[in-house]
Amino acid sequence: MQIPRLFSLPLLALLAACGAQADPARGRTGSGSDTGTTQPDSGSLDTGVADTSPDSSEDTTADSSEDTTQDTTPAGPTIEIATWNTARFFDRVCDSGRCDAAQNDYEELPSAAQFQYKASQLATGITRQDADIMLLQEVESQDCIDALIAALPAGRWPVAVLGEMGQDASVDVAVLANGELVNVIRHRNVPLPLPGGGSTTFTREFLEVELLIQGRPVTVFSAHFRSKSNDDPARRLAEARGAAAIVAASAAASPDSLVVLGGDLNDTPDSEPLLALTSPGILVRVAADIVPNDWTYAFNSQRDAIDHLLIANTASGGYVAGSATVLRDATGGLLTSDHASLRASFYLP
């Protein structure tokens, strides 16, 4: 059922002064480029290749403690969308010239065996999730995407889009999809007003990918907001406000599409950035119905939900209530990542 569109004018007004870049000959265009000046930040992530094997990992699934009497029988076709931070999937080239782990350098230079092992482990994790669309974070380059696709079942992911920032040692977002690619729009250089004045941009590419899944329109956004390492909360809040405006505009322009935002947003559901996404009423966090089992990251014994999927309720389609699932192993992460993945089912338009 189509929900009446209720838009926040202050959010949408942000886009009037902003530009977004579409891939050449792919439709909507604007100003800006794919590259930026912000250096990647590491967050609270492992700095080495984990020694976790599929055989020693036990998946656990977060179950909802909510009312199980609610009828969630699909009214029509459904798809699975998942988000997963791959945790510093670096390629075999030391772009920065500083890749010495002994010196705590940010960029890593894996051996050929380590690189292939990481790709294989990520492919195992993606296969376990059995999704139609994967929103990935912390993938350095096209070489990483190519290695990942080669490790996955042949033909399973005909769409693979990298949100490359073009900087040394950048860890970027990506989208894999089992469908047809329609359009790619990059919002990396959209000016974002800061709460105290001035402006910034997205820390990493804010990647918009328009697809046809089972012949039906789906738009997804893969995001990775500013981490809390050397924290800049004002920038993360600006990213959230800008993302809310961009997603709202996309939903308004494509009311017949399913529109979903996902990624490592580096903040919890009660934080100011997440409330900036959800409080206008356009975006709904789908894992709210599995609290407290919605956590995706553990650090110093604290478990937090920082990886999220949100649906635009002003467009078409819908979330299958109770379907949100967190995939994690005994470490709290999943395989070679220190992040668990989040997956949910959605009704197609």
Model pLDDT, residue 22: 55
307: Cα within 13 Å, side-chain hemisphere: 34
At 183-240, the pLDDT tens digits run: 999 999 999 999 989 999 999 999 999 999 999 999 999 999 999 888 999 999 999 9
Q: What is the DSSP string of 179-248?
A: SEEEEEEE-TT--EE-TTSSEE--SS--EEEEEEETTEEEEEEEEE---TTTT-HHHHHHHHHHHHHHHH
Q: What is the mean pLDDT of the chain?
A: 82
- Angstrom distance (rounded) from CA 161 to CA 26: 14
CATH topology (fold) of 9-35+75-347: Deoxyribonuclease I; Chain A (3.60.10)
Q: Which residues contact 343 (CB under 8 A, 6 or more apart)?
A: 80, 81, 82, 83, 129, 131, 324, 325, 326, 327
CA end-to-end span of the chain, whole Å? Answer: 9
> What tokens were used for 273?
């950035």
Kindly give the pairing relationship between strand 258-264 and strand 216-224: parallel
Model pLDDT, residue 100: 75
Regions of the chain with pLDDT less than 70: 1-75
> Which ranges constitute the DSSP H helices of the chain?
9-16, 112-129, 142-151, 233-253, 272-278
Model pLDDT, residue 103: 72
Burial class (CB in 10 A: 0-12, 13-18, 19+), 97: exposed
Categorise residue 301: left if φ over 0, alpha if ψ from -120 to 50, beta otherwise.
Answer: left
Distances (CA, A) of 238 to 44, 233, 244: 21, 9, 10
Cβ atoms of residues 136 and 161 within 8 Å: no
Q: Which residue has the tokens 């202050």?
A: 10
Q: Which residue has the tokens 């073009």?
A: 166
Q: Which residues contact 225 (CB under 8 A, 6 or more apart)?
A: 202, 203, 236, 239, 240, 263, 264, 265, 266, 267, 273
Q: Which residues contact 100 (CB under 8 A, 6 or more apart)?
A: none
In the chain, count H helices and then E strands: 5, 19
Model pLDDT, residue 215: 95
- Angstrom distance (rounded) from CA 205 to CA 84: 16
Whether the ω angle into residue 292 lies within 30 degrees of 0, i.e. cis, is yes
| Annotated domain spans of the chain | 9-35+75-347
Q: What is the distance of C-alpha 138 from the center of its chain?
A: 10
Tell me which amino acid residue 316 is.
Answer: S
Q: What angle do CA 16, 13, 265 make, to 5 degrees?
A: 100
- Angstrom distance (rounded) from CA 90 to CA 319: 34
Model pLDDT, residue 21: 53
Q: Which residue has the tokens 């990213």?
A: 239
Tell me which amino acid residue 212 is.
Answer: L
